[in-house]
Structure 1
Amino acid sequence: MVVKKIKNPKKSASKAGRIGGLLDYILNPESKNENEKCVYAGSRGFLTDSPQSQKAEMLALSQEAVRSKDTVNHYVISWQAGEQPSHQQIDEAVDLFLDELGLNDHQTVYGLHADTDNLHLHLVINRVHPESLKVIKPNKGFDIEAAHKAIARIEHAQGWHREPHGRYQVLENGELGREHIDTALDAARKQRQPDQVTRDREQRTGEKSAQRLAIEDGAAIIQSATDWQTFHRQLAEKGIRYEKKGSGAMLFVGEVAIKPSSVDRAASLPHLQKRLGPYQPPIDRLNIVERGPEPIQAAQPDWERFIKDRQAHYTARNAATLALRKRQDAERKQLATQQKTKRETILTGSWKGKGDLLNAMRSVLAAEQAAEKAGLKEGHQQASKQLRQQYRPFPDYEEWLRQQQQQQPEQADVWRYRHTEPQRIQGDTHEPPTPRDIRAYTARMTGRQVHYFRKENAGQIAEQGGAVSFVDKGREIDIHDWRNRDCVLAALQLSAQKWGDFRINGNPEYKAMCVELAAEHGFKINNPELQTGIENERQRLQQARAQAVQKETVPQPVHERGRGR
């Protein structure tokens, strides 16, 4: 697991803007990124339950701290690829995190987001204590250190894989301990990965980041460097350069700047100067190898064509945007010149004794020209909107693969499930996939498969192709949006239509959801290991229904029946 503290990107923002923006993003991330969504949310320390009321509560408490401009901390906890925490585990993780930071009683809003292979949890915590109204500094200001301790406790309590360079771990005696610095350094060098944001970008594009290229090709050169000139020359052979910037230094892969410490701890300027002496720039002109885009893994299908299509798309968009800006600048200048000429023509000359008429003329002319400016601005805004519609964001690699009608659609699934197992329903026979009417979903043939989309997303299907909920492949159905209970129910209904009975494969959380739906709707799931769970859930539902019926039929006491008359 990884934890990060997200700094306030706009320190001049008001408390209302800061709190409102954070809570809106946590609960509705699709407003900023259509591919991201909140799959589970919760809160602590509030008197009310609705998001709007909790936002008002947090702002009201924050306003009590008149000397503090920003009273909230924003943290992000990420699980490794393929790890799927349950809702109960999310709540437990929040409890452990708040306890380690000493913020148990504080207002907290959290949301689990899904937009990559790595699930991540956003937490917003109000540091104002609800009773003392003091602004608390977690762990005396060293809150990120306490956050790393919390991560170690969560990993230990819930059995998650530990990061190779994690700061803390739970020892056999139950206490927290730090790994030996040398051991941690060796592990970090062997296992170092780009940061989470960069890995998310790589997942979307299939392209190695500049940081990954520097780690793979530059770290060994940094560790073995013996003098500055050899160091510069060896980096140049890999398309990398090292430059002093102010009191520090930066690594460059092409024109992309990278912090040396994100590649290797020994890459910082102070560390290198201790080994190699005072910094020396290259004496001779370096022949820096030019590096093009590189795929994350070998044999990615049609990846070179994807890169060319993406580059062509953004080249065309940038050219169209530049041409539009030049045309709009010329139109603004032309209007300004025309209006100035008109003002000079009408208002020059003698207006002696006609002051009232001059003022009236100025007023009429100002209103007329303001309307002309507003009309031009509205036209420009409409043209910019049309340009954005014409050049929508280029699809991610997986989405692009699904759009290729001539290719095998399985290629997108191979990429999607390269690190995780698919959430799948399997039948005993191969039923040729044909579009069917399934609840609130629209079916669309894609090669030899049928892709099902939410009907409200139907207008985006042709343009984006990335909002697939589940896919009928004939003998199996893959569920992409498996955290959505309505989506899983629709896929199970389709399976019942096709096969009657079937098996399910996937992670424990997905299977648990299928067990609940099977007990509730009578689906016939053949997995032997799930039969006990389905039967127990059926009995629980029957008991709940019986109790509800009994509660409705029990006569109310006389004083209850007569109340309010």
Structure 2
Amino acid sequence: MPVTHWILSWQENEQPSREQADEAVSLFLRGMGLAEHQTIYALHKNTGNYHLHIAVNRTHPYTQKVIQPHHGFDIEAAHKIVAEIEHKQGWALQINARYRINEQGHVVRNLQHREQVKPKSKAEDFESATGEKSAQRIAQERGHAVIQNASCWEEVHAGLDAVGLRFARKGSGAVIFVGDTAVKASSVDRNFSMSRLCKRLGAFEPGYYSGRTFKKPAPEPVSHVCREEWQEYQKERQRLAKGRRLVEKKQEEEWEELEQRQRDRREAATARLARHGLFVLNIARHFLKEQEREEKAALRDRQSQSEKPERLPRFKHWLGKRSPHRGNLWRFRRRLAPGVEVRKREFPRGGTLPSPYAAYREMVKKRFPEQMDASRLDAAIALYLRCAGYTPQDVANELFRHTPARLHGQSRDERIEYGRRVVWYAFGTAGDIDIANVRPTKEEIQRFNRDAEDIGAR
């Protein structure tokens, strides 16, 4: 498949322009060595994050050869390209970024980066759908340190047994059992493949495990966020699963009853017609077979048309339907450290400027002197205006009047949409989280209000 699809995504307080999207695609293709290739890309804003789809035909238009960017190590290269785009366009740095731009403008390894062992995308999809830890994550959290620090096979087996896991050979590879679920050892860590472990620990030696490691473990929430709602969701899942099992059992019983009736009828017909000879018996068997086929088709249609068991939606949709605020908290769960309380805060009106945008812009730029994209700067201004007690309508009006127009201009609707997304961030869940993480005191809010009013007076 020569066409490859990448996605670049911005944070909620960032709104790239068309020109910035064009530049980002150019930087990305150049960094991947695909600048001459056929490309189609689209900037979407149909979700909370602006995101850019890039589809590239890796078949070179002149040589007709399929290019493999960076010999298959394109993810590592993408981290470098992201750092370059963030630095050049003034976006916020990626959380736990692998690379950064130094003072000389070169891409260098970020010394503050902490390598995290994460589940594969399929396991993360399961976690996002159910809010439950995947078997792969459990194996990584409980077993990674055990296997990493073991000096012999006996320590591997004893350590995994202590945390409820089990290591076994499967074919030429190895698996880690989380209860009765097998997880490839190499998916927990590349260094945990059987060949690499044998090089480090010697020839494989099977271990003895207590029986409790074979039982399916109790579900665990993947995040501390919305834990109570997740427990309710689990109860609902169990209730619906029980209902599905009852329906399946009833359908199985109906099939067993039908097959038993047909079996009894065949035996009775065979005993009754056997004296008439094989010719008559074969005719009877033929018509009985046709009758049985019709009865099975009728039962199959009746079961397919019966009321289907209720299916539970994905956890985020179930949660968002109950409470949009809680649904957004789940969406931003990776930003929330345990113990951080996020709530809708109402700030008293502390700002007295009739048109505060220009003064707060200068105050924010003074507090954050690094290069910052205009949309990111406007989002910070809106957040400060919220803390100063200005209403969403006040902020939207200021943004509509004062935000600089884009390079090729903006229609009235585009300016309204731009301001709406800025206000949505500042007064929405993302803004609530940023305020909760900073926890500004009353004195700090009064101080930056005074700074802004001093700038406005000058």
**Letter of the structure 2 residue corresponding to residue 149 of structure 1:** A
What secondary structure does 2:219 align onto?
Answer: coil
Q: Which of residues 149, 152, 175 is equivalent to 2:80? A: 152
CA deviation after TM superposition for structure 1 residue 126, in Å: 3.6
Q: Which of residues 239, 262, 270 is equivalent to 2:187? A: 262
Q: How does 1:261-300 map to 2 (within 5 A)?
A: 261-283=186-208, 285=210, 288=213, 291-298=217-224, 300=227
Asked if the contact 1:251/1:259 (under 8 Å) is kept, the reply is yes
Q: Is 1:382 equivalent to 2:305 in the alignment?
A: yes
CA deviation after TM superposition for structure 1 residue 235, in Å: 1.3
CA deviation after TM superposition for structure 1 residue 303, in Å: 3.5
| CA deviations over 1:417-454 (Å, ceiling 9, x no partner) | 545699x999999xxxxxxxxxxxxxxxxxxxxxxxxx
Q: Number of paired residues?
A: 355
Q: How does 1:117-516 map to 2 (within 5 A)?
A: 123-129=54-60, 134-139=64-69, 143-158=71-86, 159=91, 161-162=93-94, 164=96, 166=98, 179=109, 187-188=114-115, 191-283=116-208, 285=210, 288=213, 291-298=217-224, 300-325=227-252, 327-328=254-255, 331=258, 349=279, 375-383=298-306, 386-387=307-308, 390-396=309-315, 399-400=318-319, 402-403=321-322, 411-412=326-327, 414-419=329-334
Of Structure 1 and Structure 2, the greater helix share is in 2
Q: 1:243 to 1:369 in 2, by over 3 A?
A: closer
CA deviation after TM superposition for structure 1 residue 323, in Å: 3.5
Q: Which residue of 1 aligns with 2:358?
A: none
Q: Distance in 1 between matches of 2:288 and 2:212?
A: 63
| CA deviations over 1:362-408 (Å, ceiling 9, x no partner) | 9x99999987766554334323xx32xx32134515624754xxxx8
Q: Distance in 1 between matches of 2:155 and 2:57?
A: 52
What secondary structure does 1:242 align onto?
Answer: strand
**Letter of the structure 2 residue corresponding to residue 530 of structure 1:** L
Asked if the contact 2:41/2:52 (under 8 Å) is kept, the reply is no
Q: Distance in 1 between matches of 2:169 and 2:324?
A: 48
Asked if the contact 2:38/2:61 (under 8 Å) is kept, the reply is yes
| CA deviations over 1:167-195 (Å, ceiling 9, x no partner) | x6666666666x59xx89x932xx33323
Give ranges in structure 2 of 5+ residues lacking alignment. 337-341, 350-374, 383-391, 415-458
| CA deviations over 1:272-311 (Å, ceiling 9, x no partner) | 3333322211157575396422223447224433323212
Asked if the contact 1:97/1:147 (under 8 Å) is kept, the reply is no
What secondary structure does 2:73 align onto?
Answer: helix
Question: What RMSD in Å do the two structures reach over aligned CA positions?
Answer: 5.3
Answer 1 or 2: higher relative contact order, Cα 8 Å, separation at least 6.
2
**Letter of the structure 2 residue corresponding to residue 154 of structure 1:** V
**Letter of the structure 1 residue corresponding to residue 37 of structure 2:** D
Q: Distance in 2 between matches of 1:246 and 1:83?
A: 50
Q: Distance in 1 between matches of 2:154 and 2:398?
A: 64
Q: Which of residues 29, 32, 41 is equivalent to 1:98? A: 29
What secondary structure does 1:293 align onto?
Answer: coil
Give ranges in structure 1 of 5+ residues lacking alignment. 1-70, 351-357, 430-506, 515-522, 545-565
What secondary structure does 1:187 align onto?
Answer: coil
Q: 1:146 to 1:307 in 2, by over 3 A?
A: closer
Q: Distance in 2 between matches of 1:112 and 1:333?
A: 59
Asked if the contact 2:186/2:193 (under 8 Å) is kept, the reply is yes
Of Structure 1 and Structure 2, the greater strand share is in 1
Q: Distance in 2 between matches of 1:226 and 1:340?
A: 67
| Percent of residue pairs identical | 25
Q: Which residue of 2 aligns with 1:526?
A: 395
Q: 1:212 to 1:530 in 2, by over 3 A?
A: same
Asked if the contact 2:15/2:376 (under 8 Å) is kept, the reply is no
Q: Distance in 2 between matches of 1:72 and 1:509?
A: 40
Q: Distance in 1 between matches of 2:205 and 2:400?
A: 71
Q: 1:196 to 1:380 in 2, by over 3 A?
A: same
What secondary structure does 2:151 align onto?
Answer: coil
Q: Distance in 1 between matches of 2:93 and 2:410?
A: 34
Asked if the contact 2:83/2:107 (under 8 Å) is kept, the reply is no
Q: Distance in 1 between matches of 2:85 and 2:117?
A: 25
What secondary structure does 1:526 align onto?
Answer: helix
Deviates more, 1:410-419 or 1:305-314: 410-419
Asked if the contact 1:310/1:394 (under 8 Å) is kept, the reply is no
CA deviation after TM superposition for structure 1 residue 252, in Å: 1.9
**Letter of the structure 1 residue corresponding to residue 395 of structure 2:** N
Asked if the contact 1:113/1:122 (under 8 Å) is kept, the reply is no
Q: 1:260 to 1:374 in 2, by over 3 A?
A: closer
Q: Which residue of 2 aligns with 1:67?
A: none
**Letter of the structure 1 residue corresponding to residue 221 of structure 2:** P
What secondary structure does 2:196 align onto?
Answer: helix
**Letter of the structure 1 residue corresponding to residue 399 of structure 2:** L
Asked if the contact 1:398/1:415 (under 8 Å) is kept, the reply is no
Q: Distance in 2 between matches of 1:256 and 1:81?
A: 36
**Letter of the structure 1 residue corresponding to residue 244 of structure 2:** R
**Letter of the structure 1 residue corresponding to residue 29 of structure 2:** L
What secondary structure does 1:304 align onto?
Answer: helix
Q: Distance in 2 between matches of 1:209 and 1:416?
A: 18
| CA deviations over 1:474-531 (Å, ceiling 9, x no partner) | xxxxxxxxxxxxxxxxxxxxxxxxxxxxxxxxx859979x9xxxxxxxx954357525
CA deviation after TM superposition for structure 1 residue 229, in Å: 1.7
CA deviation after TM superposition for structure 1 residue 268, in Å: 3.0
What secondary structure does 1:249 align onto?
Answer: strand
Q: Distance in 2 between matches of 1:126 and 1:337?
A: 64
Q: Distance in 2 between matches of 1:302 and 1:209?
A: 18
Asked if the contact 1:207/1:293 (under 8 Å) is kept, the reply is yes
Q: 1:78 to 1:316 in 2, by over 3 A?
A: farther
CA deviation after TM superposition for structure 1 residue 254, in Å: 1.5
Q: Distance in 1 between matches of 2:46 and 2:125?
A: 11
